[in-house]
Chain A
Amino acid sequence: MKKIFNFKNARRINLWVIFYLVVYIILVIKLVTIQQIGNGILFATYSIAVSFYILSRFSLAYFYKPSVPESDLTYEPTISFAVPSKNEGENIRETILKIANTNYPKNKFDIIAINDGSDDNTLDEMLRAKKIVENKNYIDGNVSVKVIDWKINRGKREGMAESVRQSDKDIVIFIDSDSFIDPEAARELVKYFIYDEVAAVAGHAYVANAQTNFLTKMQAVRYFVAFKAYKAAEALFGAVTCCSGCCSAYRRSYMNEVMNEWLNQKFLGVQCTYGDDRSLTNYLLRKGYKTLFSNEAIAYTFVPDTLNKFIKQQFRWKKSWVRESLIAGTFMWKRNPIMSISFYLGIILPLLAPIIVIRALVWYPYTTGNAPFYYLFGLLLMAIVYGLYYYIYTLDKKWVYGVVFAAFYTIILIWQLPWAILNLRDARWGTR
């Protein structure tokens, strides 16, 4: 029986009110900025554009509610789960077992695990998992686990490609070796492939080790907003720019169309060996296919728990973001005008960010003698919007870390971007 009055909902409504109050204050600040635009046109324009961009993510995400006709709910394509992995002895067995546990007809999916030249017990764990899974007798058939063992490391991209070659199924779902998927995730991902124009669907990754420390708590909030708002906003126009490797489904036939280009991708004359998921998504987008996001397809992934690992990961992501954004920039204008405007804004704003931050936090205080309270206040409000957004949906106290993260990101992580640009040609993977 449904309750007429739900306490949690009432609380959410209150939180939304607070959320919009903060948004309102931000808008007021922007209004003041507009009226004093003479004080520095670049700064003011940036400040307005960045708020517009961020708030537009939340607004657009609100409208993203993809649907599949009732009549098509019986649609059950065949699936290969692909798990390329290197040195993942710790998690790989669990990952494979979780996949096998997926709520989907057992005769309609298989698992392809690739050991990409690991130095540890990854292969043993894979074989152990294979044994467990294949010995299980399900009513609707058995799940086959294909283990491919490469003695020499060939890279993630090769691993992903190999699993596509090995598969004879309709859909390939890539799962990172350190990610666990929810039993319902596969069904939630593949149901959108009923639409022919859909090439890939990204799942919603949550942080598996959120409780470990400050850093992982911050990332938990960051991931949530990045998927729930940012990916959803892109998906509204069928153009998710990165169907991430931790849990995304791709249509095998469309992947084959771009496979050669993707495998031989070169940028600035250097073979591309990182940002494989973003790159693959990009090739499909260029073809005009749609990429979506499924809020309900849930996976849990492990995130870096030390600052060093985190910075390295972010640096790698920045590099692939720069490369793929430049590539996507050559065709994104063909898409929906709102999508393309926000896409280009999404590139320009982070590129300008370091200049703006220097101006606000160094130049402005230095020349005027005033502490940059106004700027920091605006920053804090925006960070609170992030945090509240997380809190409203999860009612999880970690939202405060999200506030810290937004500030941390703006003040520290943006400096990675110029550095990443300078190191674009450096092909080193940067270990995880």
Chain B
Amino acid sequence: MKKIIPRRIFIKKAPLAVLVFAVLGFGLFAYDANKDFISNFQFYHIKSYTTLVSHAVFNENNNNLASALGVLATNNEAGNLNIEQKFAKSVPALLYHSIINEPDGSNILLENFKDQMFSLKKAGWQTVSIEDFYSFMKGEKELPDKSFLLTFDDGAKNSYYPVDPILRALDFRAVMFVITSRTTSPFYLSVRELDKMVKSGRWDLQSHGQDDHDFYPINSTDEKGHFLSNKLWFKDVGRLETSEEFRLRISNDLKESKKWLEERYGKPIVSYAYPFGDYGQNSLNFVEGVIPMIEEVARSIYPISFYQVWEGKGHAFNYPEPTEFMIKRISVKSDWTDVKLLSVLEKGSSKDLPYEDAFSETSGLIKTWGNLNIHNNAIFIGANASTTGSSLFLDGSYLWQNYVFKAGVNLTKGQTFSLTARYKDDKNYVACSFSDKSIRVERFLNGERKVLSELKGNFVFLNKNREVGIGVYDSTVNCYVDGKIAMKGYHLDEHLDQGEIGFKTWDPQINNSELVIKSISVEEIK
């Protein structure tokens, strides 16, 4: 029997239909595979991609083009390691939150972020994984010079979507500190997106706590405070929680987020980043005991924790120290250009001995108190209208152990100035302090001052060019004046076994001290 619609018609028409269905089906598949990307796409993300292409085209290194387009998953790490090996003595961690399009005064614009990353890459900086960083901190692993840890806090969608293409092109990786209770909120990355990030191999997820970014009542007036650093107010029974309750609460929170991440991704979570960078220092109602308690609890759960360090709060980089729990992060500010970021990193980079300071803006001299000016090939430090003195230290000299630090100085105002050595932070260091009446060896341990030795006499420092120095060798301290040892100190505490160099000025009167530093040189004592 003949058919009204013969088979040949179907055969003739089928290929086109199959093709259309295949294309549509493929399109659906493509959509499904990229749906998070598509639904989270914001127009400014294009900037991440356009610059990638232009970067790749104008860059001699064509690997970048390949990786920008995602054509070749090149592993540049191996290539980098081949070049004449220099190992990192210290590693900085950079902290970002969201990467945005419209300035909001705290987050970083995509333009800036992009410039910063490209400049870092160009200057030879390379990212490391959290595992490598942790091994480095424990002293178990060497990392190439100019390694840094790139971190983002909170797990917002816009710290992933605009960032990832840039990471991919530059062969960078990053750590995301995830607030594990927020994965269902539209502003934050969903679990599916987190899965994808982990799968990409470019992202390490670490803990940013469970509920500890929420604010809670901390007293009867309903004032609200940070979850982690305050005792909470129980409204129904009208009292604050006890220290034990506090401990249990934060302990549960810290455990929960770690557990969630570990169970989902099957990798040990080694670190925790304090919410708002607040490890207790911002406590409103538990000031006396909160810092040690947070540290004790966090330490019992995580091997390391991250807080934020700003300029002037000690060295910016992290030095291997197996017992160090508090890891520093440099919080990148919204007004930093790529040049500024590079200079921050340059300042913090480890310096080698012998050392001669060039008095440049980026040499690493960090003011911690008073005023600091560099001009006319000299450094001016001194008190300002609200201080009795000033101090600075040389970032990047933290690993120096036995050395003589000499400086050409002129005390133009005030009673005393000091050369500091083995400076760990502003509470732990040793100093030779010079005044017209005495030369002293002083040590500060946890902020406690002790004069190790003192030489009284009549010295002339005010308005005179002098060469002074401080030498440290094991537990001996020498103070030099004009090339000669003027004073010795012994039995320096074991804790002060290494550290940075620096200066300090002081006068009983406010705004009445100034030291002009004309040269700085440091030599190692073998």
Contact = CB atoms under 8 A, between A and B. Distances in A.
B27 interface: yes
Interface stretch (A20-28, A319-327, A422-430): A20-28
Given A67-B4, A195-B2, A238-B4, A62 B13 contact: yes
Nearest to A292: B4
A65 B13 contact: yes
A141 interface: no
Given A23-B24, A59-B17, A65-B13, A31 B32 contact: yes
Contacts of A69: 2
A201 to B, nearest CB: 10
B6 A67 contact: yes
Interface string A187-217: 0000010010010000000000000000000
A28 B5 contact: no
B9 A31 contact: no
A7 interface: no
A198 B2 CA distance: 12
Nearest to B10: A63
Contact of A20 (B9, B24, B31, B35): B24
Interface string A15-49: 00000100110011001100000000000000000
A54 B9 CA distance: 23
Range for the number of chain B residues in contact with chain A: 10 to 19
B9 A65 contact: yes
Contacts of B23: 20
B56 to A, nearest CB: 30
A290 interface: yes
Given A27-B28, A31-B31, A20 B20 contact: yes
Nearest to A59: B17
A290 B24 CA distance: 33
Contacts of A224: none
Interface string B1-36: 010111001100100010010011001100110010
A205 B2 CA distance: 28
A378 to B, nearest CB: 16
Of residues A67, A195, A292, which shows the largest number of chain B Cβ atoms within 10 Å of its Cβ?
A67
Given A20-B24, A28-B28, A198 B13 contact: no
Contacts of A67: 4-6, 9
A136 B32 CA distance: 68
Contacts of B27: 24, 27-28
Contacts of A198: 4
A24 B32 CA distance: 12
Interface string A102-141: 0000000000000000000000000000000000000000
Contacts of A417: none
Of residues B4, B20, B27, B35, which shows the largest number of chain A Cβ atoms within 10 Å of its Cβ?
B4
A341 B4 CA distance: 22
Contacts of B32: 31
A59 B21 CA distance: 10
Interface string A277-319: 0000000000000101000000000000000000000000000
Contacts of A64: 5
A236 interface: yes
Contacts of B6: 67
A66 interface: yes
Contacts of A24: 24, 27-28
Interface in A55-101: 59, 62-67, 69
Nearest to B31: A28
Nearest to B4: A66
Contacts of A290: 4
A236 B28 contact: no
Of residues B5, B9, B24, which shows the largest number of chain A Cβ atoms within 10 Å of its Cβ?
B5
Nearest to B21: A59
Interface string B345-366: 0000000000000000000000
Given A62-B13, A63-B10, A65-B13, A192 B4 contact: yes
Given A23-B24, A31-B31, A63 B17 contact: yes
Contacts of B20: 20
Contacts of A195: 2, 4
B24 A65 contact: no
A408 B356 CA distance: 83
Nearest to A21: B27
Nearest to B16: A62
A195 B5 CA distance: 11
Contacts of B24: 20, 23-24, 27
Nearest to A195: B4
B5 A65 contact: yes
A192 B23 CA distance: 35
A27 B23 CA distance: 12
Nearest to B39: A32
Nearest to A197: B4
Given A20-B20, A59-B17, A66 B5 contact: yes
A259 B27 CA distance: 52
Nearest to B38: A28
A65 B12 CA distance: 11
A238 B31 CA distance: 37
Contacts of A65: 5, 9, 13
A31 B28 contact: yes
B443 to A, nearest CB: 66
B2 A63 contact: no
Interface in A130-187: none
Contacts of A66: 4-5
A74 to B, nearest CB: 15
B35 to A, nearest CB: 8
A31 B13 CA distance: 27
Interface in B214-248: none
B4 A63 contact: no
A131 B49 CA distance: 80
B489 to A, nearest CB: 73
Given A31-B28, A65-B9, 8 more contacts: A27-B24, A31-B32, A59-B17, A63-B9, A63-B17, A65-B13, A66-B4, A198-B4
Interface of A: 20, 23-24, 27-28, 31-32, 59, 62-67, 69, 192, 195, 198, 236, 238, 290, 292
16 contacts: A24-B24, A24-B27, A24-B28, A28-B27, A31-B32, A62-B13, A63-B5, A63-B9, A63-B10, A63-B17, A67-B5, A67-B6, A69-B2, A195-B4, A198-B4, A236-B5
Interface of B: 2, 4-6, 9-10, 13, 17, 20, 23-24, 27-28, 31-32, 35
Closest 9 CB pairs of A and B: A66-B4, A65-B9, A28-B31, A24-B27, A66-B5, A63-B13, A27-B28, A195-B4, A31-B28
